[in-house]
Structure 1
Amino acid sequence: MTKSLHPRSKGLLASQLPGDDLPGSRELTGREYLRVSEDRSKRMKSPAQQHEDNERACAAHRITLGEPYREGRAVSASRYSTDVRDDFDRLMTDLRNREFGADVLVLWESSRGSRRVLEWVTMLDLLERQGIFVFVTTHGRLYDPANPRDRRGLIDDANDSEYESAKIAQRIRRDMAANAAEGRPHGLCPVGLRPVYHERTGKLITWEADPETAPMIVDLFTLYRRGRSGRSIAKEFKERGYRNKLGNPYSPAHLRDMATRAAYTGLRVHHGELIEGTWDAIVERDLWWDVQRILAEPAHQSTKPRFGSVKHEYTRTMRCAKCLGPITTLDSKRGDYMCQTGGCARITKAPVDAILNAVIEDFLAQADFTARVARRVDTPQVRALEIAIAQLRAELEEAENAVPANVSEARMFARIIEDIKPKLADKQAQLRGLTTPSELASLLASDDGSPVADAVTRWRDAPVEIRRKIAKILLSPQYLGQVRINPRTPGKRLPPHERLTWVRDAA
């Protein structure tokens, strides 16, 4: 004959009690909380398997099960997890609102409830106030949270579970540090690479080039170095039929994020430090660094929406001589340039374009121009700046993506972010000052990446967006000079060239 547990038995069998006239000798109702975590325990069971075990044990102990609380996906109950356990939250809400609607909370094992001591104790307090019991299937026991001995046993279980979680977390961090020091891969394998596993153990060994998607990654970096915008690359990739893992076209933001990943050039980032990876690069190191310099430009940092495509190469490359605001193009029949900040200066566009085109083409036609900008700038100072920028960007990304546990941590992360941003901007400005010639070489290169013999022809044939990037470099104080448009002088009608001021750096 099956022996059942009395609800106030403190672990005793019902047959050992004085009689059935004691309070609670009736059948009980129960509700399960079902969860499977993503740990590697040998006793790991799915919610369906847990329910089957619970159902058999509860039937033997006169507990009738009602609607369960069931997590729809695998989530961890560890304090190291940031996962949201929707049905656990619903369970706690029902307990607080006295809407649990049963006599017993049924758990397959105590760690299924929580591996966080504070969270577990809070739940026990709520159960005790409402006279609700806890049945743990793997223990074969009915616990009463109001009984000090039962309560201590349940809290000891929570302490043991939290301690085990802490050991697992410590081991994971130690393994991650060791993997990083050896350059082994970590995290999701990025598009363009594929994981390589050990044939016998199934453990990840390294990454290797994915023959199907690696060419797309190389194209991405090549197009960025040629001066193409993320928007135009996304459009071209869509036309080529490239799709992400969800089957959707790549967005400009997604492509930009991909182009910053050091994994493509065989590097791993760990706590802001660049480490040589154990896998082969699919993007040449020089090409990767060139793209990082291009993406560090202010034009690639803006998060403001841009409507339409680039139509005018000199828009925002000039300044107002009065307020130093940017000069933009008006969509008028005549097509005028005007100060965007205060409307201080306005001038007809066509004659100004003719002047700027002539000056730029004269400069590009100089005999030593191609040789001067074609050589690669790759000094120890440049490489040190590149590494510093990559590390600062990694630290910034880590701080921006951090999940603070409280308000103090949130403020700390905010201070870290505000401290990194000016340092990053300063390093990027230093790098631009040293690498502008190689960027010009990339923009003026032919389709196969080689220097062109005729820079003027390349300038004339280039798309407007690339012409604008070249113009921004050349119409700067260190080259031809920053062009500033002077406001009209009352009573005077000056020709366009007399209203332009060229501001150059001192020699």
Structure 2
Amino acid sequence: MSGEKPGLRAVIYARVSDDDKKQGRSVGEQEQECRQDGADHGWTVAEVFVDNDRSASRYARKAREAYVKLLDYLATARVDVLILWESSRGGRELEGWAALLNLCRRQGVRIHVVTHRRTYDLENPRDWRTLAEDGVDSAYESEKTRERILRSVRAKAASGKPHGKLLYGYRRTYDDRGNFIAQVPRDDEAAVVREAAQRIADGASCYSIAQDFNARGIPTPRGGEQGWSLSQIKRMVINPGYIAQRVHNGKIVGPADWPALLDEQTYSVCVARLTDEKRKTLRDTSVKHLLTGIVACQKCGGRMRVQKNRTHYAYMCKPNFCVSIKQQLLEDFITALVVERLSRPDALDLLSPPDTDERSVRAAREAAEKRARLDGWYDSAARGGLSPAGLAHIERTLLAEIEAAEEQARTVAVPPMVRRLVGPGAEAGWRDLDVAQQREVVSLLMDVRLGPTQRGARRFDPMRLGTSRWRGDTKTWAKHWATTG
């Protein structure tokens, strides 16, 4: 547009985003060229607003703080000209770009685009249309860019190739031209992943592992000074990527083309321990007693905890105080049963069928695959490709199958911690465990229930535990004792 007046007040807005770094100008170069154009026209640059590393598309994840300040400045201060290096610097989202044009038109602000070598007066319908069409073009280019990226991501996922943020425990190798070759284990980080998973499988808590890693100064996946947390340990050891499974949009889509860091049995144990809602109390770091929350009242089913009972500590029914028993008596009796059970030469056969390990791994895979299928049906319904009634029928069927598979996956045969206890050294091995690990073993082996004291009894009667069972056994302890004496 001709007839521009010198001495006008101008503001500059410069922006660069990740996807522009290879073909766009840096914010410094943009500002320099905008200032030069302003000087050539005799304008005074009053303010400069800069957003670096900020996308302007509708998919942007970071707010454009400087852009928000620009809008406020345009609405409240006297501005004659807004200088942009190119139209897309102002925005790649159509609604936002239209709002900027309307704001400038209301405030009488012209827009000068350096690459166009032109200043636009938004009161002129042709000028307004030109910039509006620029906004459509910018938004269209943004959509095309995203579609290309998504196609690439889907293709890599289907072929098992890595994409995006590097998985902790690995490094990527490249040829002389910078082309990706492979994702391979990084020895120091891989050792951390394996140690964490093995310790979880052995009954340690995520909290204790995080504390230990921090004390040893092991860097976290993201670095920084905050250190490891309970949730970081959990997310790490149940990540399917560590058994070489490719995850896309939170779903397992197939095998990955990088080597596994964990064997499937250890991974299965970790998933079972950390996703079973029934065993949350076992991982409570505040619990200090062997059987708190594990032994149940035979009468009301309530869980029992340790409390002071006159002159001694006792396990008492928490909800209704139906029954109680001296803490040491019960713990000594249960400990003796556990050690005797694990000391037997046929202990492993008694604990689980020989093929349970393999069945557990297969069940975990089946559950993951069916969840991915269900997510696919949800996506189809959202796009209108499936009726609500059809989705409801599929959901009922798959959810029941998923629940059954996940329950089977949680039935891990013999966790490594218990496996190492089996044999003549069971008693010594038991003493080497901390309370959290001992609680884990008891929970894996027993369903403990305590009945009331018989009238007139003065000594501990084991039959108060008669309705208890070994896990996976249909007979109560009372029935076993009746046949063995």
| Structure 2 alignment gaps of length 5 or more | 377-394, 476-485
What is the number of residues matched between the two proteins?
452
Backbone CA RMSD of aligned residues: 3.4
Partner residue, 1:293: 272
Q: Could you tell me how far 1:170 is from its partner in structure 2?
A: 0.8
| 2:29 partner letter | Q
**1:123-272 to 2 correspondence within 5 Å?**
123-200=100-177, 202-244=178-220, 245-271=223-249, 272=251
Which of 67, 70, 90 in structure 2 is aligned with 1:88? 67
Whether the 8 Å CA contact 1:29–1:103 is kept in 2: the answer is: yes
CA deviation profile, 1:24-43 (whole Å, cap 9, x unmatched): 74521111112111114654
CA distance in 1, matches of 2:225, 2:154: 35
Partner residue, 1:4: none
The answer on 1:358 being equivalent to 2:336 is: yes
Q: Could you tell me how far 1:51 is from its partner in structure 2?
A: 0.7
Q: Secondary structure at the match of 1:30?
A: strand
Partner residue, 1:406: none
Partner residue, 2:96: 119
Partner residue, 2:483: none
CA deviation profile, 1:371-423 (whole Å, cap 9, x unmatched): 5558864677534421134457889999xxxxxxxxxxxxxxxxxx9999987
Which of 76, 80, 85 in structure 1 is aligned with 2:55? 76
Partner residue, 1:109: 86
Q: Could you tell me how far 1:80 is from its partner in structure 2?
A: 2.1
| 1:443 partner letter | M
Q: Could you tell me how far 1:113 is from its partner in structure 2?
A: 0.6
Partner residue, 1:277: 256
Which of 418, 428, 432 in structure 2 is aligned with 1:444? 418
| 2:228 partner letter | Y
Q: Could you tell me how far 1:103 is from its partner in structure 2?
A: 1.3
CA distance in 2, matches of 1:368, 1:430: 23
Whether the 8 Å CA contact 1:227–1:469 is kept in 2: the answer is: yes
Q: Secondary structure at the match of 1:92?
A: helix
- Per the alignment, do residues 424 and 63 of structure 1 end up closer, same or farther by CA in structure 2, a change over 3 Å counting? farther
Q: Could you tell me how far 1:369 is from its partner in structure 2?
A: 0.7
| 1:473 partner letter | L
Whether the 8 Å CA contact 2:357–2:414 is kept in 1: the answer is: no
Whether the 8 Å CA contact 2:370–2:402 is kept in 1: the answer is: yes
Which has a greater percent of helix? 2
The percentage of counterpart residues that share the same residue type is 29
Q: Could you tell me how far 1:496 is from its partner in structure 2?
A: 5.1
- Per the alignment, do residues 376 and 234 of structure 1 end up closer, same or farther by CA in structure 2, a change over 3 Å counting? farther
The answer on 1:335 being equivalent to 2:306 is: no
Q: Could you tell me how far 1:175 is from its partner in structure 2?
A: 0.7
Q: Secondary structure at the match of 2:16?
A: coil
| 2:338 partner letter | I
Q: Could you tell me how far 1:209 is from its partner in structure 2?
A: 1.1
- Per the alignment, do residues 489 and 368 of structure 1 end up closer, same or farther by CA in structure 2, a change over 3 Å counting? closer
CA distance in 2, matches of 1:154, 1:419: 54
- Per the alignment, do residues 164 and 226 of structure 1 end up closer, same or farther by CA in structure 2, a change over 3 Å counting? same
**1:281-430 to 2 correspondence within 5 Å?**
281-298=260-277, 306=284, 308=286, 310-330=287-307, 334-373=312-351, 377=355, 381-391=359-369, 426-430=404-408
| 2:418 partner letter | L
CA deviation profile, 1:13-66 (whole Å, cap 9, x unmatched): x4xxxxxxxxx7452111111211111465412221111000000111122111
| 2:306 partner letter | T
- Per the alignment, do residues 235 and 185 of structure 1 end up closer, same or farther by CA in structure 2, a change over 3 Å counting? same
Partner residue, 1:497: 462
